[in-house]
Amino acid sequence: MNQTPSASPRRGPGLGWIWGALGGGALGFGVGYTFYVLITPVLEASTGLGRELQGLSWNLVPLLTLAGAVLGGLLVSRRRRR
């Protein structure tokens, strides 16, 4: 009985962008959180408008997480199409 070996199985075509989005989101969260931790003491020590920006700086964390997830998903899906 001679059988030819089957081709190596490929992952599902729809799963690549999910892994890219998870990786990009994790990277975006890490960058946003690190930036927040580094800039918060500076903003707390300042007065006036600088102090008011402290509340807005926390908004960078979810914004960068979302941006990283979208960018990671797009990059992986484009790479798989080639």
Average pLDDT value for residue range 8-37:
84
CB 40 within 8 Å of CB 64: no
Average pLDDT value for residue range 25-43:
93
Average pLDDT value for residue range 42-64:
86
CB 72 within 8 Å of CB 23: yes
CA separation for the pair 43, 52 (Å, rounded): 8
CB 79 within 8 Å of CB 17: no
Of the two residues 37 and 53, the one the predictor is more confident about is 37
